[in-house]
Structure formats: C-alpha cells, structure tokens
Amino acid sequence: MISPKFLGRLGFALLLAFQPTLAARYPSFGTIQTTNSSGVLNAVINNTASSTNLLDYRVQADLANLVETLQANDTDIRVVVFSKSPLPFFDPGFPDMSFPPALLWNISQIPQATIATVEGRARGIGNEFLMSCDMRFLTTSPSVLFSQLENSFGAIPGCGGAMYLSNLIGRGCTLEYVLSSTDIDAVTAEKYGWINRAFDTSAAMKEYVHILARRIALFPLAGINGTKFGVNAVSRPSKEDIVQKAQNVISVLALPATQAYVARFFEATKIRALGSWS
C-alpha cells in the first residue's frame, strides 16, 4: 500500500518537475505561474501568501527571476501577457526604495512586448507595474480601481509612477489623481489614456488580448524590441530622473510626519512590513 507520506512526497516532486525553468538569482516563491505557446508567455501573478495579491517581496523576487530569463534574448518568447488571480490585484504596497524601481525599469525594457490585464485593484506599486508594461487592458467591473496613493500618507510614488503617468495622461490629470490619491475606474481611465481599453466582460478582454498577443508574436523579436526602444526613448522617464526621484522619496520618508502617516497606513490596511530575503 502506498503511504500518504509517499504520496505527499510524490506530489511535491511532480510540482518541482513542472516548475518553469527560470533563472534563480533570487529565491523563488512560486507566486507567478507561467505557460507559453506560439511565442506568447502567459504569466499569472497569484500571491497566495497575501490576501490582497500584493506585489510584495515574494512577487518582486519571482518577477526579477522571470525578467532575467527574458533579458537573456530568449527569442522563442516575443510577447508577455501578465494577468492576475481573481483576488484583488496589488492593493496598496509600500515599495522598498531601491529594488522595485530597478525591477520595473528592467520590465519596461525587456525585448518582448508586455501586456497587462487587470480585473481587480492596482494601487501604488501595482499601478507602477502596469505602467512599466507596454499595454494595459481592464474590465469595467466595479472592483477594478487603481491609483497612485502615496501622497495620502505623505510620501511620493517611488518607482516613477507620477512621471510615467504624466506621459500617459498629461500634467493636469496626473496632478489631479496623484495629489488627491483618488482611485480611477476603468471607463474614466480609458477616456484619459491611462489604459489602452476597458472591456465589459473578462471573456471579451481575454479574447482580445489573446488575438493581439498571437498577432504580435507572428513577427520577429528584433522589430518588437527596436520599436520599444524608440518608444521608450520618447515616452518613458529617464533612468536618471527615476534615480533622482528615489532620493526625494527617501528624504520625504525620513520626515517624522511622513513616518507617522506611514505607520497609520500600514495599520489601516493591515499590510505587514514587506520583508526582505537578505
């Protein structure tokens, strides 16, 4: 008779065998499930350690490992589609001030086209992640809301969020939403250009993104990468600006008043410190 203990071990071994082979510079937490076919890699972010699917250090480590694989000129993959589990997506997070901007910068310049689909919330670094992707598609469900909310606790978007946003929606709308830390819904976001398009149903969104990704993946990577390179040059904040901004973020965070707000923010949102693997 096969003991339950053996079956448990077998399950674990099978799980390991089906883990995608990602470069593992950082520890792997299994928060991103990937599948790929016809040049399209589907990456589902499913952080079951967090009740809000937070983009915490676990997701960041898994993303950094995935990005490292994609940086290595993997010519099989031409499009990356990021999507979410049905849990609220990326609720307010508080980014560590050095790793996240570097990770999102790397995501913005991998050779592959990146498409994000969202059916929940994306605030703070969650929204910055969306903007570091090349395209954003949402559903009009009332649970879809996103924002740069850092001003509400006296801080500043840490990964260039306000700078990315001003390229997408202009100075006036950026200041309206970032200074007030207000949520935007999918329909308004589509009107402003924050996102590419909002769909009434999840099925319609997935079908559209599937067709779009498959079409882009028909074409050679060199053209995709070259086009991104040019678009990045004129529409993305410079690395120097993001680094400079990170310095501002650190000095603002050091203010006692900001620290008091941040403590209240963590308490109110029940987000524990994001931790670190070092």
Ligand X SMILES: *[C@@H]1O[C@H](CO)[C@@H](O)[C@H](O)[C@H]1NC(C)=O
Contacts with ligand X by CB under 6 A lie at 20-21, 33-34, 36, 41, 44, 46, 48, 64, 67, 69, 71-74, 77, 85, 99, 102-103, 106, 111, 221-222, 225-226, 229
Cβ nearer to ligand X, comparing 73 with 244:
73
Cβ nearer to ligand X, comparing 31 with 258:
31
Shortest distance, position 89 Cβ to ligand X, whole Å? 11
d(CA 100, CA 146): 18
Tally helices (H) and strands (E) across the chain: 10, 9
Joined tokens for residue 31 = 């928060």
Q: Which residue, chain included where needed, has tokens 């937070």? A: 54
Shortest distance, position 4 Cβ to ligand X, whole Å? 20
Cα–Cα distance list, 71 to 82, 173, 249, 261 (Å)? 16, 34, 28, 38
Q: Which helix (H) or strand (E) holds 245?
A: helix 239-253
- Going by their DSSP bridges, the two strands 79-84 and 40-45 should be labelled as parallel
Shortest distance, position 62 Cβ to ligand X, whole Å? 11
Shortest distance, position 237 Cβ to ligand X, whole Å? 16
Phi and psi for 193 in degrees, rounded to 5?
A: 90, 10
